[in-house]
């Protein structure tokens, strides 16, 4: 299977891994420990979800945070075959050691594209990092807190508020059904 097509092939995932807010805190702390020896002077957080770990790491390392947005989505729907730029990298990265952070390295393409842009803007050194890395990501990030090929459910993606009520995120619900799991009973996810 082509690497890029794995990004949304949820049926091929190996199990389900639900990450709680507490798990997120532990993964962010681990990522901070891994990045600390590089002494980053600036963090580029890839919006949207990459801002969660990027903000945590920037706070823990007491360095500047700059958002960038590169995505295949519009209004949470996948519409682009490849990531497109929405918010460019800040020129403040020039002459700095920069860590580019996202929540997940799936294909690895988004992290690589942002890192390339940071280099073009004159960063002294660039490293890439994410909370979770799928084994097929090429290129893989320089640093990751966890490697897993499971269907990942991050705390910010699990539920959406729609029509006045909380629902399992439609993409998560569909992914669970593709794995033969009942998306209405998410308590079972922690056990599997």
CATH number (domain holding residue 30): 3.40.50.2020
Instruction: Please give the Cα distance from 91 to 89 (Å, whole number).
Output: 6
Q: How far apart are CA 157 and CA 10, in angstroms?
A: 15
Question: pLDDT tens-digit profile of 148-172?
Answer: 999 999 999 999 999 999 999 998 9
Domain count for the chain, please give it.
1
Identify whether 187 is part of a domain: no
Calpha distance 87→96 (Å, rounded): 20
Q: What is the pTM of this model?
A: 0.89
Burial of 174 (0-12, 13-18, 19+ CB in 10 A): middle
139 domain residue, yes or no = yes
Q: What's the domain range around 80?
A: 4-154
- pLDDT band at residue 116, thresholds of 50, 70 and 90? very high
Cβ atoms of 117 and 89 closer than 8 Å? yes
In this predicted structure, the answer to whether residue 39 has a pLDDT above a threshold of 70 is yes
**Per-residue pLDDT at 190 exceeds 90:** no
Per-residue pLDDT tens digits for 87-103: 999 999 999 999 999 99
In this prediction, residue 2 has a pLDDT band, given cuts at 50, 70 and 90, of very low
Check if the beta carbon of residue 134 is closer than 8 Å to that of residue 104: yes
CA dihedral sign, ordered 168, 19, 49, 73: negative
Whether residue 12 contacts residue 52, with contact meaning beta carbons closer than 8 Å, is answered with: no
Q: Does residue 24 belong to any structural domain of this protein?
A: yes
Q: Does residue 189 register a pLDDT over 50?
A: no
Is residue 146 over pLDDT 50? yes
The answer, yes or no, to whether residue 191 has pLDDT greater than 70, is no
Annotate 2-12 with b (16+ C-beta within 10 A) or e (fewer).
eeeebbeebee
In degrees, rounded to 5, the angle at the alpha carbon of residue 143 between the alpha carbons of residues 75 and 160 is 25
With 60 as the cut, is the pLDDT of residue 86 above it?
A: yes
Which pLDDT score is estimated for 92?
A: 97
């Amino acid at each position: 299977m082509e690497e890029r097509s794995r990004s949304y092939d949820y049926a091929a995932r190996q199990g389900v891994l639900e990450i709680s807010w507490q798990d997120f805190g532990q993964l962010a702390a681990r990522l901070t420990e891994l990045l600390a020896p590089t002494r980053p002077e600036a963090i580029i957080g890839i919006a949207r979800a990459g801002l969660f770990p990027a903000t945590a790491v920037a706070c823990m390392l007491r360095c500047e945070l700059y958002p960038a947005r590169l995505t295949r989505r519009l209004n949470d729907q996948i519409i682009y075959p490849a990531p497109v730029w929405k918010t460019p990298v800040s020129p403040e990265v020039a002459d700095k050691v920069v860590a580019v952070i996202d929540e997940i390295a799936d294909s690895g393409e988004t992290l690589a594209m942002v890192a390339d842009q940071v280099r073009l803007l004159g960063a002294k050194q660039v490293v890439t990092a994410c909370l979770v890395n799928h084994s097929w990501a090429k290129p893989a990030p320089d640093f990751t807190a966890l490697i897993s090929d499971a269907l990942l459910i991050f705390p910010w993606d699990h539920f959406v508020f729609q029509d006045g009520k909380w629902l399992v995120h439609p993409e998560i619900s569909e992914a669970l059904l593709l794995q033969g799991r009942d998306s209405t009973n998410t308590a079972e996810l922690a056990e599997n």
